[in-house]
Chain A
Amino acid sequence: MTLRDTHVNMGHGGGGQAMRELIADVFVAPFDNPLLATMEDQARLPLAELAALGDRLAFCTDSYVVDPLFFPGGDIGTLAVAGTVNDLAMGGARPLYLSCAVVLEEGFPLEVLRRIVASMQQVAAQAGVQIVTGDTKVVGRGAADKIFINTAGIGVIARGIDLSARNARPGDIVIVSGHLGDHGAAILVARNQLALEADIRSDCQPLSGLVAAMLAVCPEIRCLRDPTRGGVATVLNEFATASGVAIRIDEDALPLREAVRGACEILGLDPLYLANEGKLLAVVPPAHADVVLAAMRAHPAGVDAAIIGEVIDQPAGMVFMQTGFGGQRVVDMLVAEQLPRIC
């Protein structure tokens, strides 16, 4: 059954036939899996299969709002799946099942919704996860900005894996999986308030495959986190604070695209605080750093991985950087949103 409507109307959230048709046509058909196809009020997950994969469930949720909805390298749909998959993966979990709840503004074009759902399905397939339950709400014009998506995810953590921001120890090596700040810079350029033209694409991608490859060569990895909002600086500060250690990074070692560097120069922004949506930071025992780095570079999501710094003991809770110019400075937590400077 195909919907004849071209835009979302209040009837699509009314609980009746129109809503059923919307869900069946726009969500269930493209997500195409037996757990969802039953259209029960809940997905029923096979416990024994989960238990065979590990000894802990990982469970997380995230809501996605982005302006603009489409940007070079992705859209709100790719973000909504990759973001939650990555939250699971950073705990060492193998992501398996996602939910998808959508809040739609009256008048939202169904053609655009279909494109977003297609992106979600594409990233889900790439990450090997199924979207097995969902919800749709429609609100009146002006009560929401076009579309908000929430996804929650379940994954399984294999026995023996213990990743935590508290685990960093002096001597450990800090690795980043690729170029920094691509997503944040792409969004800034896509908003076009600055009339900047630059070929910058968001790095939005699922990292579960990369994490699996890393854990396969080194189950002793100490910390993993994806530096989304707040960027690399924020995650490194979280590691340093939680572990009671200091982290020293080397500015010259940071992988940074020229276009992103240029955009930051013009706007007075610091790439260390720009969001990433397809990168991870890893803290690794020194003896395993080379093998982990090699495994990362052999994976498509980690070809530009680089060692950027090391963990030392003092001063605890601090992150600082050896500048390319030859000086040294503190890399602090961001106070609030980065705002462009006046001069």
Chain B
Amino acid sequence: MKYVDEFRDPAKARVLVHAITRRLDGIASRRQRPLQIMEVCGGHTHSIFRYGIHRMLPSTVEFVHGPGCPVCVLPMGRVDDAIALARQPGVIFASFGDAMRVPGSKHSLLQARAHGADVRLVYSPLDALQLARDNPRHQVVFFALGFETTIPATAMTLMQARADGVHNFSVFCNHITIIPTLRAILDEPQLQIDGFLGPGHVSMVIGIRCYDFIAREYRRPITVAGFEPLDVLQALAMVIDQIADGRCEVENQYGRIVPEHGNPLALAAMAEVFEPRENFEWRGLGSIAHSGVRLRAGFAAFDAERIFTLAHRRVADPGDCQCAEVLKGMIRPPQCRLFGGACTPQTPLGALMVSSEGACAAHFRYARHGMALPPAATTTSAATAT
């Protein structure tokens, strides 16, 4: 398939793995423990497990799975508020598919739907706006989620709703921003992370210069990475090169998509519609200052939090939950007390087990028995017989 297969070429992958291994061997004598590289985005985590990248690398480097799965980090209290909105008479609640299973303190949206709430699955905020036009007697509430990747689409939809005078459309805003959260992780005293694979599609919007503080203040290298498996390997090679050379810079592996200064139109739309919140709660990480956005006063008529009365109740994460330690690279998913026992993809307790992009869910699904797998076959009978 064009524009896909080029980025999944196994021969190029072998060349990169060889180069990474050589660089790592070169610095092995200086190090007591494996290099820890955090991939910030859930999309990266998904690629790593889906293509088995982690199993192609030497044991001297490990991926630490970052906080960049917006569905996973949604706190239970916000899910409870979403369900309360969905249960309001006359409300059609429109949600992205993978947010439907996120557990609140009692239920998920999927369960609320089974109990009679009118919850519809949409693929974009514009689908939700269309739902509002098609159902003029209902209030359509869009469950807005995601980082800067999805914020501009919500902003454009709200601008369109206002311009067209659609009065039965509103947004329950849970958009979050990545920079304050990266800072919160970097401020962790026990942090062991040696470098970062920077988010790809977030950077398409915000550019790469906003990561300068990571290199300057925190002395960690970061390479913005694409999501195809060769992207991930190449970006990893670039970060390891920086570490081997003793450099701390912001590099861009995903140049075909990510401009240095981002997308000015998207940034302008975001600035027109949204403003930072004082604080926003993250499942697993707690409250982080300025990490969320809300609708500006000019869009109050479209703000579900102003139209409806919500409980805004904070619900603590389950007591034994070790998501924060996993997110900061202090433990790996299988080392959590709950992993695979009380917390599984069927019955997720922690943030990271919730979405398929969550580190623990990906680990459970693709690599649970990773250590037990037999060695990779060089030529399976399957390969030779077809």
Contact = CB atoms under 8 A, between A and B. Distances in A.
Specify which of A253, A262, A329 lies most central, judged by the most chain B CB atoms within 10 Å of its CB. Answer: A329
A325 B380 CA distance: 15
Contacts of B138: none
B164 to A, nearest CB: 20
A320 B10 CA distance: 18
Given A173-B381, A253-B383, A312 B123 contact: no
A330 B149 contact: no
B96 A342 contact: yes
Interface string A266-295: 000000000000000000001001100100
A339 B369 contact: no
B123 A315 contact: no
Greatest chain A CB density within 10 A among B49, B52, B372 is at B52
Interface in B347-378: 355-357, 364-370, 372-374, 376-377
14 contacts: A174-B382, A265-B1, A308-B382, A310-B382, A325-B229, A326-B10, A326-B376, A327-B376, A329-B50, A330-B373, A332-B365, A340-B97, A341-B98, A343-B70
Nearest to A194: B123
Please classify the interface of chain A as helix (H, G, I), strand (E, B), loop, or mixed, using the class held by over half of its residues: mixed
A341 B367 contact: no
Interface size class of A (residues with CB under 8 A): 35 or more
B366 A248 contact: no
B52 A309 contact: no
B385 A248 contact: no
Contacts of B377: 248, 322
B53 A327 contact: yes
A327 B145 CA distance: 32
Contacts of B208: none
Contacts of B385: 173, 289-290, 293, 307
**Which of A246, A324, A330, A340: most chain B Cβ within 10 A?**
A330
Contacts of B50: 323, 329
Interface string A3-44: 000000000000000000000000000000000000000000
A330 B1 contact: no
A342 B372 contact: no
B216 interface: no
Interface string B165-205: 00000000000000000000000000000000000010000
Contacts of B101: 336, 339
Interface in A229-263: 246, 248-250, 252-253, 258, 261-262
A193 interface: yes
Given A327-B56, A341-B357, A314 B374 contact: yes
Contact of A310 (B54, B365, B380): B380
A342 B71 contact: yes
Interface in A296-343: 306-310, 312, 314-315, 318, 320, 322-330, 332, 335-336, 339-343
Interface string B217-246: 000000000000100000000000000000
B370 to A, nearest CB: 8
B53 A320 contact: no
Nearest to B357: A341
Contacts of B215: none
A213 B145 CA distance: 53
B267 interface: no
Interface in B61-92: 70-71
Given A261-B1, A322-B376, A341 B52 contact: no
Contacts of A314: 372, 374
